[in-house]
Structure 1
Amino acid sequence: MNAPLGLEEAQARLLALAPQPPSCVLGLSTFAERRFLAKDVTALRTQPAADLSAMDGYAITSGAGPWQRVGESRAGAPYPAELAAGQCVRISTGAIVPEGAVSVLLQEDARVEDNLVTATELPPPGKHIRKAGFDFRDGDTVLTKGTAYSPAVLALAASAGHGVLSWRLPPGVAVLDSGDELVAPGKPCGPHQTPASNGVMLAAMLSPYVGFVDPLGPVADDRAALAAALKRAEDSHILITSGGASVGDHDLIQQALKDWGAKIDFWRVAIKPGKPLMVATREDALGRQVILGLPGNPVSSFVTAFLFALPLVRASMGDPDPLPRAVTMLAGEDLPAIGPRREFLRAMSDGESVRLAGSQDSSALSALAAADCLIDRPAHAPPVAAGEPVRVFRLQNG
């Protein structure tokens, strides 16, 4: 049996398989939060298109003055002629600087009497003038493929002459939780059963980022039932399974996936919780489907979804940097030594320090619900004393 993969290698192999949904063109007024540009955006115009005043005042010609005021340049109504030596015009912010002007004299630095303008403080040449094209020029790449949607991105695209943008469509995801012990949430539950919490948890985690989430479970550990559920997943770009991905007598997901035409890429990752993680692919007429098999224990399922499922979805959306980003915080309490697997401890932060959220058992949902971050502890790490730095992933930034 092959050794478990390290986290970064497993993430890289998964992201290399990310499906590529098509793109769509949307008007700038269409809400497209959590989408990424499908291609570069090239400017169709120069910004500013002409030299503009950065302040209210007077556009003056060279020399120390005084200058004869001969007119005005307003935003949208430029002065129509070139200034001669010794002339100036009243100018407003955003107005075109007329030919012949060398700088803008601030309103508060000017004295005006009978249309004769003198300076109490002379600006140097070019002062308070936004030169044509200082922001971008016609033909410049102003936005690159993979840029995330934001109000500023829309403003830049509009300024560059665009009324529509091409965005990558989010993937469709199916979520299948399996196990004979599972009952649907809210249904009567015997002592030998447990509510199916993973399906609703994973759907809630992924739904803000995907085109749709198709819940397929809970499904019993039965080959025919699993085959029927997988049939329903054929229109999804990504299938997330929870439970049954190991190789015990009642773990049937791997074989069911193979019967469905899937090919196992790798299985098992050297992390805790979450070792029995599986990645597979399936090719059909619609393209490649990616299957991510998560462990059945709810905390293991959550942690591996944070580290693998969310990055997979974001990569499919076109995010060029889909992995969660770590920050450094201080341990708010002593932390124990770590065994042979890299561990992700559920923790609570106050912005500067972190403390364990409670039990670190892989079924402890109360501690998971209280946690707002994961402490990333390397394999074989020695104990950490309170006040020492630790590497942390904020869960809300996944």
Structure 2
Amino acid sequence: MLPVEQALERILSALAPLPAEMVPVSHALGRVTAEPIRARRTQPPVDVSAMDGYAVRAADVATVPATLRRVGSAPAGGRYPGILGPGEAVRIFTGGPVPDGADAIVLQEDVDASAEADGAAITVREGAPAGTFVRRAGLDFRTGDVGVPAGRRLTARDIGLAAAMNVPWIAVTRRPRVAILSTGDEIVRPGELVESTSIVSSNAYALAAVVRAVGGEAVDLGIAPDDRDALRALAAGARGADLLVTSGGASVGRHDLVQEALGDGSLGADALRVGFWKIAMRPGKPLIFGHLGAVPMLGLPGNPVSTVVCATVFLRPALERMLGLAAGPSAPAEAVLAVDLKPNDRRQDYMRATSEPGPDGRRLVTPFVKQDSSMMSRLAEADCLVVRPPHDPARSAGDRVEILPLDAGFLSI
């Protein structure tokens, strides 16, 4: 069985970032930049006032009180056309261009004005050294500056910056198009439960949610029965997709047909070529990675918990690689066990667990007693996975362990 780290490395090495496409800045939230976003203007374009007040020459208010003559105004978006001379002041508002000749702003509350009209005398009660409340041209950014690097998922802050930099269109990596295929005679859609032996399909919906949350587009190919021809027919719908993800049919049972049906030599170039099968992990051992024709394929186990755990460990990094993000193992965190654990076997274990703040500020984690891979209620209740490496010895309450947080993962965009 292949170790988890090697399996992930082989998956990622077979994938590459997708081509770029242009989207309007108003539709770029959550997308990944395919190239740096550079400023198309200087901000502020000229020296501007940071406050409401009066633009003055610092030398004229070095000694206070000082009496000056108001000669004009400079609102935001406007400009005083002249050059400020000795003993003169210009009424200015936040964002207004600083007049030529002025080098400081005095606050309006530090000025007594006899009238709000040009030609009126004003008395400055507090001095202002040169540069006071002046925002210099280019304080924020200059034309050509990189505001957002390539390979970054755009936040609301990034969108605001791009707009401020006068960038109307952004080059982003195309969304991965992921075809999802469920398998099994026993699988039915939610709301279609007709037999007590039927199993409601949850995997397709969970996988589609993962794909969309990471930034891809999910295409549901449907549910393939345990029939070779039907499985091949539905799998053919993955042509043109960037990735095919199957759930179920990856084990060795009589009805686990994915490898047998899709790997048939009669399919020629469209046949499944398996890169590896079986991972030394729990849950998720019967995982397949290969190519169905030209389309990379990730075959996940049918048990619902196994599907979601494998999506966390393998599918998410695969999508991130195709999006041009820095893909790799999900970053673990450290926590403290609240209970004792028995020794682990040769498979890397991902134990569903809940956590809470401990008395020393570290996370205190409690794995569920039952770790059955069919129990979706436990997975939904969990907020993390306790990651136990192969042959991990017995652990005692208070020992430090690695966890993979779940709550701050897929929906953090």
Normalization by structure 2: what TM-score?
A: 0.84
Deviates more, 1:182-191 or 1:143-152: 182-191
SS of 1:230's equivalent in the other structure is helix
Name the residue aligned to 2:360: none
Task: Kindly indicate whether the alpha-carbon contact (under 8 Å) linking 1:41 and 1:142 is maintained by their aligned counterparts in 2.
Answer: yes
2:105 is the alignment partner of 1:104: yes
Cα shift at 1:133: 0.9
Task: Kindly indicate whether the alpha-carbon contact (under 8 Å) linking 1:183 and 1:218 is maintained by their aligned counterparts in 2.
Answer: no
SS of 2:101's equivalent in the other structure is coil
Q: Which of 200, 223, 229 is the matching residue for 1:224?
A: 229
Task: Kindly indicate whether the alpha-carbon contact (under 8 Å) linking 1:357 and 1:368 is maintained by their aligned counterparts in 2.
Answer: no
Cα shift at 1:235: 3.0
2:142 is the alignment partner of 1:132: no
Name the residue aligned to 1:353: 364
Name the residue aligned to 2:267: none
Task: Kindly indicate whether the alpha-carbon contact (under 8 Å) linking 1:311 and 1:322 is maintained by their aligned counterparts in 2.
Answer: yes
2:317 maps to amino acid? P
2:52 is the alignment partner of 1:60: no
2:150 is the alignment partner of 1:145: yes
- In structure 1, what is the Cα distance between the partners aligned to 2:165 and 2:382? 44
Name the residue aligned to 1:85: 86
Cα shift at 1:26: 2.5
- In structure 2, what is the Cα distance between the partners aligned to 1:110 and 1:190? 83
Task: Point out where structure 1 has 5 or more consecutive residues left out of the alignment.
Answer: none
Name the residue aligned to 1:273: 283
- Cα deviation digits, residues 304-329 of structure 1 (max 9, x gap): 01111122223323333575333333
Q: Which of 13, 18, 24 is the matching residue for 2:15?
A: 18
Name the residue aligned to 1:373: 384
Q: CA RMSD in A?
A: 2.6
1:153 maps to amino acid? D
2:39 maps to amino acid? A
- In structure 2, what is the Cα distance between the partners aligned to 1:195 and 1:112? 77
- Cα deviation digits, residues 34-88 of structure 1 (max 9, x gap): 3212222222111110111112222221320425232222101111122223333
1:355 maps to amino acid? T
- Alignment of structure 1 residues 1-398 onto 2, 5 Å: 3-7=1-5, 9-18=6-15, 20-30=17-27, 32-63=28-59, 64-65=62-63, 66=66, 68=68, 69-112=70-113, 115-120=121-126, 122-185=127-190, 186-191=192-197, 194-208=199-213, 209-220=215-226, 222-247=227-252, 250-259=255-264, 260-284=270-294, 289-321=295-327, 324-350=330-356, 352-396=363-407, 397-398=409-410
1:96 maps to amino acid? P
Cα shift at 1:204: 3.3
- Cα deviation digits, residues 66-114 of structure 1 (max 9, x gap): 2523222210111112222333322211111122222222233444456
1:50 maps to amino acid? V
The 1:33/1:41 distance shift into structure 2, 3 A limit, reads closer
- In structure 1, what is the Cα distance between the partners aligned to 2:193 and 2:16? 36
- In structure 2, what is the Cα distance between the partners aligned to 1:385 and 1:70? 79
SS of 2:123's equivalent in the other structure is strand
Task: Kindly indicate whether the alpha-carbon contact (under 8 Å) linking 1:56 and 1:106 is maintained by their aligned counterparts in 2.
Answer: yes
1:6 maps to amino acid? V
- Cα deviation digits, residues 348-393 of structure 1 (max 9, x gap): 2345433224511222223123222212223333344444443222
Task: Point out where structure 2 has 5 or more consecutive residues left out of the alignment.
Answer: 115-119, 265-269, 358-362
- In structure 1, what is the Cα distance between the partners aligned to 2:195 and 2:366? 34
Task: Kindly indicate whether the alpha-carbon contact (under 8 Å) linking 1:103 and 1:127 is maintained by their aligned counterparts in 2.
Answer: yes
- Cα deviation digits, residues 287-316 of structure 1 (max 9, x gap): xx2100112222111100111112222332
- In structure 1, what is the Cα distance between the partners aligned to 2:232 and 2:312? 27
The 1:123/1:333 distance shift into structure 2, 3 A limit, reads farther
- In structure 2, what is the Cα distance between the partners aligned to 1:67 and 1:147? 54
Cα shift at 1:175: 1.5
Cα shift at 1:239: 0.7
- In structure 2, what is the Cα distance between the partners aligned to 1:16 and 1:101? 60
